[in-house]
């Protein structure tokens, strides 16, 4: 019964609709024509409430990795926090650079920075947009991005808008492949070879598709050998390591004690933390870390 309830709306959603809309305005006919192209391949995504959301089965697809969301603990903690701050605004009132900043938010950011042994923190709106912002804003003209071939789509999306002079992938979790790409890049880019421009390396702590863990310490050693001038920095997405690895779920970077060796670390709130999808981001500043937080 649960399977029928789940598949029924999906099957109905794959039926072609454009042939029945001869008298509809062209705008709507054209939209349905585009959707029918997906329906013909049975590839149209349709909203549906899974039976296990109603307690009628076991959920193997949720990103609530620690069951904090389904347990109700996060909801209870949230309500208790609101009760302690009765004047807390439920809206920003504007962007933070103008009229949207509050002491409470800055206090939370300081707590996050302390938890992750970082210097500062910043909270913003979206996890996907966080990776997009990092990779579109941080690379400067003449910099390069090297990325694991299995990084998330949000990382790839950000790279499209970056100012990096080139982007190159290396084989998944393969240290020697990273070395080969670095050596080739140094040969092709004189300013990187001279240490004037930087290489940003994008990896994930735990990769979502296979659940394998990044050999982060080994990758760092490779970069030190291949680029002795120290102009290589790592950006680590901890989306699937948050709450799972490290002290109190702080992630792989904290577990390995590599806070001072990584430029940017991204932690999502929407998986292990069972909150709104988002990211924490730490950036290294000289000998200390700066934490930019995205939620």
Domains located in the chain, CATH noted: 2-54 (no CATH), 108-294 (3.40.640.10)
pTM equals: 0.85
pLDDT tens-digit map of 148-184: 999 999 999 999 999 998 999 999 999 999 999 999 9
Would the pLDDT of 293 be above 50? Answer: no
DSSP per residue, the chain: -HHHHHHHHHHHHTS--GGG-TTS-HHHHHHHHHHHHHHHTT--------GGGGTSS--SS-S-TTSHHHHTHHHHHHHHHHHH-TT--SS-SS-TTTT---HHHHHHHHHHHHHTT-S-----S-HHHHHHHHHHHSPPTT-EEEEETT--HHHHHHHHT---SEEEEE-TT-HHHHHHHHHHHHHH-HHHHTTSS-EEEEEESB-TTT-PBP-HHHHHHHHHHH-TT--EEEEEE-TTTTTTSSGGG--HHHHHT-GGG-SEEEEESSSTT-SSS-EEEEEEETTEEEEEEE-
Q: Is residue 86 exposed (0-12), middle (13-18) or buried (19+ Cβ within 10 Å)? A: exposed
pLDDT in tens, 175-214: 999 999 999 999 999 999 999 999 999 999 999 888 899 9
What's the pLDDT at 144?
97
In which band, very low, low, confident or very high, does the pLDDT at 217 lie, cut at 50, 70 and 90? very high
* Cα–Cα distance measured from residue 164 to residue 144, given in angstroms and rounded to the nearest whole number: 5
Other C-beta atoms lying within 10 Å of the C-beta of residue 293: 25
Quick: pLDDT tens for 102-147. 888 889 888 988 898 887 777 767 778 788 888 998 999 999 999 9
Confidence band for 287, pLDDT divided at 50, 70 and 90: very low
Cα gap 113→273, rounded to integer Å: 16
pLDDT tens digits along 225-283 = 999 999 999 999 999 999 999 999 999 999 999 999 998 888 888 888 888 755 556 65
Quote the pLDDT of residue 10: 76
Place of tokens 């080139």: 166
Instruction: Pick the closest to residue 122 from 286, 275, 265 (CA basis).
Output: 265
């Amino acid at each position: 019964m649960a399977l029928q309830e789940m598949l029924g709306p999906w099957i109905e959603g794959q039926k072609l609709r454009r042939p029945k809309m001869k008298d509809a305005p062209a705008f709507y006919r054209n939209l349905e024509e585009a959707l029918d192209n997906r329906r013909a391949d049975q590839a149209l995504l349709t909203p549906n409430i899974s039976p296990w959301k109603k307690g009628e089965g076991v959920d193997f697809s949720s990103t609530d990795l620690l069951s904090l969301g389904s347990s109700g603990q996060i909801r209870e903690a949230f309500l208790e926090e609101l009760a302690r701050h009765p004047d807390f605004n439920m809206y920003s009132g504007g962007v933070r650079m103008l009229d949207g900043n509050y002491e409470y938010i800055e206090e939370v950011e300081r707590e996050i920075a302390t938890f992750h042994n970082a210097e500062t923190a910043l909270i913003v709106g979206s996890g996907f947009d966080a990776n997009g912002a990092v990779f579109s804003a941080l690379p400067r003209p003449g910099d390069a991005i090297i990325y694991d071939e299995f990084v998330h789509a949000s990382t790839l999306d950000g790279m499209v808008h970056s100012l990096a002079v080139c982007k190159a992938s290396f084989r998944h979790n393969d240290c020697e492949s990273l070395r080969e790409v670095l050596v080739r890049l140094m040969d092709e880019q004189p300013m990187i070879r001279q240490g004037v421009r930087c290489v940003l390396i994008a990896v994930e702590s735990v990769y979502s598709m296979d659940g394998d863990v990044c050999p982060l310490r080994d990758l760092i050693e490779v970069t030190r050998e291949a680029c002795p001038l120290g102009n290589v920095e790592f950006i680590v997405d901890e989306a699937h390591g948050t709450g799972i690895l490290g002290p109190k779920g702080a992630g792989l970077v904290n577990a390995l004690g590599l806070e001072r060796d990584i430029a940017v670390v991204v932690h999502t709130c929407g998986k292990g933390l069972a909150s709104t999808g988002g990211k924490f981001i730490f950036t290294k500043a000289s000998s200390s870390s700066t934490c930019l937080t995205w939620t």
